[in-house]
Amino acid sequence: MTARTRSAHELELVAKAGQYLAGGTLGNLVEDVILARGRGSRVWDVSGHEYIDYLLGSGPMLVGHAHPEVVAAVHEQLELGSTFFANNERAILLAEEISKAMPCAEKIRFCSSGTEATLYAMRVARAFRRRDRILKFEGGFHGMHDYAVMGMSPPAPAQFPAAVPDSAGIPQVVASTMLVAPFNDLETTSAIVDRHHDELAGVIVEPFQRVLAPRPGFLAGLRELTARHGIPLIFDEVVTSFRFAYGGAQEFYGVTPDLCALGKAVGGGFPLTAVAGREELMAHFDQSRVGRERFIPQVGTLSGNPIATAAGLATVRILKRPGTYERMHALGRQLKMALQSICDTAGIPARAVGEGVLFEIYFTDEDITDYRSTLKADKARLTRFVALLRERGVFRGASKFYLSIVHDERDVKETIQAFESAIAALGD
């Protein structure tokens, strides 16, 4: 296997990207690969190379690229108009579907990015509790707004519960409204919440944080802790909704939060996300219910637009079919276990973590349970592994494998062959 050859056209585009895009990229996948198209579980770059895709647009393409039913639904709506800034039938039907799927979702509001969804979820908690501070977990990712970019990926972790911004340009005063706790450590989290409960507006958590599963009892413990103090618990289900189970992580782990943020798959590859939750909290979006003082205006030009809701509705209807989740989890587990065993056989210290539908390999011989343990793994080796896989026709991002419902046995077989060859090359 050799590094892929790049066409003159691709090289020209790379040069233009360097000239016109800040940092030469869209800020997402910070590599100069340029993708041209996707279909099912595969993507192609502009030089014509084909890859099995485990990036899936960072998650939204859960039913695969250009799924015929999603394409048909979007085509049909395109002919009828793209956006109205008014209620539309498909948005209402999608809200109904979400409410039936997600245990906490009595009411829904749509927005266009996961960043907005978590921003509003936090705002609802503050309006409801009439307090300012939000607790999040170290290493937890909730998008790019000022309150989210705290303790997200600190190179040198701070002392809990201090919140340190991960980005330039965030006012110091925002940091003072956030608390950071260690994921999967209920004892330390309980101590922080017990001490600060009277200042806390809410607790936000990714129920499955990045690629880390919650320890048994962690989410139930958080639920009990927050309920005891009357603090709203927010699940950031931007990744997990409609992916771990039809009812998201709240169904998968059997713990119901007060509010949740939904994203990625629910928009079928289009800009559509949502904040959803218990009626009593979501009432803050309704001035007639809470009065002017406690009302949260929520206006977004493209919120719930009919193109995105058409794609979302078509997507969730595909996902709802019997057997979908069992099959996807099983194929993913097969891949994850194969990768672990290939590393074990090669004598390369590694830990495959996560669920079949979303997993990662860390090159370390220590258990991975929280953000700090991930820092001990060999990052340079992972970066090399990702590049070796790319040369072997397997495409993924920097930090995880995403499965779709259209990955099949052939994809899995070819991917395991690529794992074997890449791990062999890694050991050389």
Interface residues toward ligand PLP, by CB under 6 A: 58, 113-115, 118, 141-143, 206, 236, 238-239, 263, 273
Cα-only R_g, the chain: 22
Instruction: Choose among 248, 236, 255, 258: nearest CA to 355.
Output: 248
Instruction: Choose among 112, 103, 180, 138: nearest CA to 369.
Output: 138
Q: Which is nearer to ligand PLP, 143 or 354 (CB)?
A: 143
CB 239, min distance to ligand PLP, A? 5
CB 61, min distance to ligand PLP, A? 13
Is the Cβ–Cβ distance between 364 and 376 less than 8 Å? yes
CB 217, min distance to ligand PLP, A? 22
Q: Which is nearer to ligand PLP, 114 or 139 (CB)?
A: 114
**Which residue intervals of 285-351 are DSSP H helices?**
287-290, 306-319, 324-346
Report phi then psi at 239, rounded to 5: -85, -45
Instruction: Choose among 48, 58, 22: nearest CA to 402.
Output: 58
CB 18, min distance to ligand PLP, A? 24
Q: Which is nearer to ligand PLP, 274 or 368 (CB)?
A: 274
Q: Which is nearer to ligand PLP, 58 or 190 (CB)?
A: 58
Give bridge partners of residue 71 from the DSSP assignment: none
CB 58, min distance to ligand PLP, A? 6
Q: Which is nearer to ligand PLP, 142 or 278 (CB)?
A: 142
Dihedral (Cα; 247, 249, 250, 255), 10-degree rounding: 150
CB 39, min distance to ligand PLP, A? 23
DSSP per-residue codes, 21-41: SGGGS-SSS-S---EEEEEBT
Q: Which is nearer to ligand PLP, 272 or 310 (CB)?
A: 272
d(CA 381, CA 353): 16
| Residue listed under structure tokens 């110091």 | 172
Is the Cβ–Cβ distance between 255 and 220 less than 8 Å? yes
d(CA 129, CA 204): 14
CB 404, min distance to ligand PLP, A? 16
Q: Which is nearer to ligand PLP, 238 or 361 (CB)?
A: 238
Q: Which is nearer to ligand PLP, 236 or 411 (CB)?
A: 236
CB 43, min distance to ligand PLP, A? 18
For ligand PLP, the nearest residue by Cβ is 114
